[in-house]
Amino acid sequence: MNKHIGILTAGGDSPGLNAAIRAIGKTALGTGRMDIVGFRDGFRGLLENRTMRLDREGLSSILTLGGTILGTSRDKPHKMPIGGEVMDMTDVICENYRRHNLDALICIGGGGTQKNAFRLAQKGLNIMTLPKTIDKDVGMTDLTFGFHTAMEIATEAIDRLHSTAHSHHRIIVVEVMGHNAGWLALGAGLAGGADVILIPEIPYDPFKVAQAIRLRQQRGTNFSIVAVAEGALSADDHKKYQTLKKNKTKAKEDRNPKAEKKASDALLEFDLYRSTNTLKLSRLLEEMTGLESRITILGHLQRGGTPSAADRVLATRLGSACVGYIEQGLTGMMIAVRGEGTEPIPLDQVVGKRSTVPLDHCWVSSARNVGTCLGD
């Protein structure tokens, strides 16, 4: 009897998702012992029984497509918006899993998806996951697909901004995605020759950034490119943020709902405040250096378009390996990248882990060695 395998894509879209779907589908169908069904729009599709047939014909032309043919959403099984309310629909999702006679469900996503998938695994479902995110911040894996394409897009943007910065003698501040990890800004900044790179792992001093730009002026270079990760904070703001997080943790440990809500509201207010950090930094550097400053926020541009060859290869490796592990009877695992190979990692070891840039990482030392200012 054939095994029935489900696939869903959840969280933010990422280049390489269709390559992963294709690899899973073609590998599974190639065994002659598996059937594949796709669920539309993440966990909501499983909740609402909205499926897509995945056969050889449907899988044959999706390798180079951006986005995901299955659609995606950020809906969580235990916090699902239903009719104006937020409800725990985990049990309904588990029931639908069994109604479809699934032998395994492959959830493709980032850190949030790993958590949501683990909750389903704890309910007894056979769950496997693949790590995808442009941020490269999923723990316990060397790499995530989507990162390479996004880094190429950000690098190309920095390349193009050099000429306009040079022509107008300006500072151009480029905001790069990455959430609270600096991989994307650091990689693109290095590859694009940014003069300043600011990442969340290294709280920055605006005065030192301005000093580095003024030094370039003194040497006859009247323009600068500043690559800043969306989660980067000044040293002062970083201290405030850490205090707010500690307050929430303490309130949770003390089981004080009122204090926890107050701390959560304060964090939300801080997130709103820091959403304009790039603009504030640009204006501050303009005041400090006397140079005109302009901002470019790359935003969702980094998620779209054709995936790079590297991401297609990586997604294909992970997707095909996942099917092999399912054939071996493994479950409750994320398929991690380990050098040129793959390794199944138990989901309970993945959940809550985040991959951030180590301060002694070779990318950091390389940036410093070539004279890039990191703001500290």
CA angle 351, 8, 12 (to 5 degrees): 65
Q: Which amino acid is at 146?
A: G
Burial 174-198 (b: 16+ CB within 10 A, else e): bbbbbbbbbbbbbbbbbbbebbbbb
DSSP annotation of 307 reads P
In angstroms, the CA 199 to CA 195 distance is: 13
Catalytic residue among 135, 137, 195, 311: 135
Q: Which amino acid is at 25?
A: G
Q: Which amino acid is at 260?
A: E
Q: Which amino acid is at 161?
A: L
* Tokens coding 283: 């204006």
In angstroms, the CA 122 to CA 176 distance is: 36
Which of helix, strand or coil describes residue 309? helix
CB atoms within 10 A of CB 370: 9
DSSP annotation of 308 reads P
Q: How many residues does this entry show for the chain?
A: 376
To the query of whether residue 135 is one of the catalytic residues in this protein, the response is: yes
Phi, psi of 231 (to 5 degrees): -100, 5
Residues catalogued as catalytic: 135
